[in-house]
A and B are shown apart, each in its own frame.
Chain A
Amino acid sequence: MRRLTWFNATSLTLGFAFLYLPMIILITYSFNSSKLVTVWAGFSTKWYGELLQNEAFLDAAWVTVRVAVASSTIATVLGAMAALVLVRAGRFPGRTLFSGMVYAPLVMPEVITGLSLLLLFIGIGIDRGIFTIILAHTTFSMCFVSVVVSSRLVTFDESLEEAALDLGCSSFQAFRLVTLPIIAPAVVSGWLLAFTLSLDDLVIASFTAGPSATTLPIKIWSAVRLGVSPEINALSTIMIAIVAVGVITASLITKRASLRQQADERAAIHA
């Protein structure tokens, strides 16, 4: 029944052309030597050179990376805890409110999340800067992490952990030796998701960043509002390349891991 009909081939070709042409054009024109972005004037890498000398961009990139590493790491811990609570902890007072608070940020418009956090920071008198962006990013990305991790926990066979407990593991050991390795791929993809969300965020960062800290998206935003620029094209190309390499590597690694797991399972059955 799986056949590539004329209709399917056309819709796939057109669909992927639509998804990828804009990025291909962007990448191509980042190598354009002309300042006029829509006129091709020959190959050049000079915009990359200028970008590397632009300290404002480099500073912003460094801030962005620090924010993303810190917020995604805290978010992974908190998000995994929230997932454990939702899937395992059973009933406790305020559970409905808790699960509401875990899911609500997923659908909350960014302008509202940003506005409300800014009003909080001003209300309690924290100076806005890197620290406040980290708090803000952690809050919304921990919810994404908890969704990813809880979907893995739901399919997890609890009898494995019970077996470890019966065999004399403490509950912490059982978690570390049995549960954690099994949910590890979900935790890693949760971290990656949180990291990308943080790298990508413009709106929430604009609300919560003070004059002392500017992230890369805020910098890009103020540049592109004035129109298309070859430097931004070069920067975009670098960011697209990093993401592409990251996603492809991650998918190859998970594919290898799942093949190995399958082999292990087969070996265990035959042993």
Chain B
Amino acid sequence: MRRFALIALPYAWLLALFLVPFIIVLKISLSDIALAIPPYTPTLDFSEGWAGIKAFFGALDFENFTFLTTDDLYWKAYISSLQIAFFATALTLLVGYPIAYGMANAPDHWRPTLMMLVILPFWTSFLIRVYSWMGILSTEGYLNQFLLGLGLISEPLTILNTPTAVYIGIVYTYLPFMILPIYSALERMDGSLLEAAEDLGCSRLKAFWLITVPLSKTGIIAGCFLVFIPTIGEFVIPSLLGGSRTLMIGKVLWEEFFNNRDWPVASAVAVVLLLILIVPIVLFQRNEQKQREAEG
């Protein structure tokens, strides 16, 4: 009886507030927009019994999904989200790996402090961390003041409201997600392997490529997915730093819903986004599984 209650309570909660809402999204994505509240048809009318259910399913169609393919905006936004997520992940890896490497090779008594310094930004408000770049990157911002002051540039650079600013924002906010898994992989590594390689005549760079990189592979893969997956649906960063020219699907969904009030299309955008995400999520799960098996 107690076991039943233990299972039933979280189960019921998740069914009611996770699965059912998602089924509603699916349903609305197959409905037509209407000038009403709520602004879509059809609604399921149980009072009409079987006829009502049949009418309901009869009225569902894929119109909103075909609409997504006919309007350039949507597929361009999907492609550009994937593209931005991909390059931002690569950049985050380039920036994060040396930091994780430095941490793993730092003296033992430094490491708890370094670890805390990486985690601290993660606890700090995401919104504030993104916002902090607005003052740095704007035309009269601190970066331009600094570069102008040094005489490196003669005119201020336009960085805010361009894709460059979005890349900087993503690398900055997601860096801890890249550093931590790589660090934990590197930290477990047996240092004597490198010594052995060097004794056997390997150059240090070659030993790095042949030993360190392969041994940190699971950390690299985990870090990349942890950055890539949430970046695709990112809303705050492109809205604050990307300006109107940066297209990302999270922003399109938001605007479709709040500005255009087109719920059926917003729902269809959400369904397609989720379908796109399934591939990296499954790959990520598989990587985690493999790592657990290797450890266990």
Q: Are B134 and A227 in contact (CB under 8 A)?
A: yes
Binds A, one of B8-16, B63-71, B72-80, B213-221: B8-16
State whether A119 touches B21 (Cβ < 8 A): yes
- What's the least CB distance linking A228 to chain B, in Å? 4
Q: How far is the CA of A29 from the CA of B285 in the complex (A)?
A: 43
User: Is chain B's binding surface mostly helix, strand, loop or mixed?
Assistant: helix
Report whether A11 and B102 are in contact in the complex, using a CB–CB cutoff of 8 Å: yes
Q: A156 contacts which chain B residues (CB < 8 A)? A: none
Q: Which one, A2, A117, A239, A251, contacts B17 given CB within 8 A? A: A117
Choice from A3, A109, A233 contacting B277 with Cβ under 8 Å: A109
List of B residues within 8 angstroms of A239 by Cβ:
124-125, 128
Q: Which of A4, A15, A135, A255 is close to B105, meaning CB atoms less than 8 Å apart?
A: A4
Per the 8 Å Cβ criterion, residues 43-91 of B in contact with A are: none
Restricting to A33-59, which residues have a CB under 8 Å from any CB of B?
37-38
> Which B residues, 208 to 245, have Cβ-Cβ distances below 8 Å to chain A?
229-230, 232-236, 239-240
Whether A89 and B3, one on each chain, are in contact in the complex, defined by CB atoms closer than 8 angstroms, is: yes
With both chains docked as a complex, state the minimum distance between the C-beta of A219 and any C-beta of chain B, in angstroms: 10
Contacts of B11 in A (CB 8 A): 85, 94, 98, 101
CA distance A236 to B127 in the complex (A): 9
Given the known interface contacts A119-B25, A135-B17, the answer about A26 and B132 at a Cβ–Cβ threshold of 8 Å is: yes
Contact of B7 with A89 in the complex, beta carbons under 8 Å: yes
A38-B138 in contact (CB<8A): yes
A248 and B138 in contact, given A115-B257, A115-B266 (Cβ under 8 angstroms): no
Residues of A in contact (CB 8 Å), total: 84
Asked if A168 is at the interface of the complex by the 8 Å CB criterion, the answer is no
Find residues 1-41 in chain B having any chain A CB closer than 8 Å to their own CB: 2-3, 6-7, 9-11, 13-15, 17-22, 24-25, 28, 38
Contact present for B102 and A248 (CB under 8 Å): no
Residue contact A119 to B28, C-beta cutoff 8 Å? yes
Q: Does A188 contact B (CB under 8 A)?
A: no
Q: By the criterion of a CB under 8 Å from any partner CB, how many residues of chain B are at the interface? A: 85
Count of chain A to chain B residue pairs whose CB atoms are closer than 8 Å in the complex? 232
A120 in the interface (beta carbon within 8 A):
yes
Residues in chain B near residue A122, CB distance under 8 A: 38
Within 8 A of B (CB), among A223-261: 224-225, 227-228, 232-233, 236, 239-240, 243-244, 246-248, 251, 255
Alpha-carbon separation in the docked complex, A203 to B38 (Å): 21
A206 to B242, CA, bound (A): 20
In the bound assembly, the distance between CA atoms of A171 and B1 in angstroms comes to 13
Given the contacts A12-B103, A112-B233, A243 and B266 also touching, CB distance less than 8 Å: no
* Interface residues in chain B, defined as those with a beta carbon under 8 Å from any beta carbon in chain A: 2-3, 6-7, 9-11, 13-15, 17-22, 24-25, 28, 38, 95, 98-99, 101-103, 105-108, 112, 114, 116-121, 123-129, 131-136, 138, 140-142, 145, 172, 175, 191-192, 194-195, 229-230, 232-236, 239-240, 250, 253-254, 257, 263, 266-267, 270, 273-274, 277, 281, 284-285
A-B contacts, 28 listed (Cβ < 8 Å): A2-B105, A7-B98, A7-B102, A11-B99, A12-B114, A15-B98, A16-B99, A22-B129, A25-B142, A26-B135, A38-B138, A78-B9, A78-B10, A81-B9, A89-B6, A101-B11, A101-B14, A103-B285, A105-B18, A109-B233, A109-B274, A112-B273, A115-B270, A119-B25, A120-B24, A227-B134, A233-B135, A236-B132
What residues of chain A have their CB less than 8 Å away from a CB belonging to chain B? 1-5, 7-9, 11-12, 15-16, 18-20, 22-23, 25-26, 29, 37-38, 78-79, 81-82, 84-85, 89, 92, 94, 97-98, 101-105, 107-112, 115-117, 119-120, 122-123, 135-136, 138-139, 142, 146, 171-172, 196, 199-200, 202-203, 207, 217, 220-221, 224-225, 227-228, 232-233, 236, 239-240, 243-244, 246-248, 251, 255
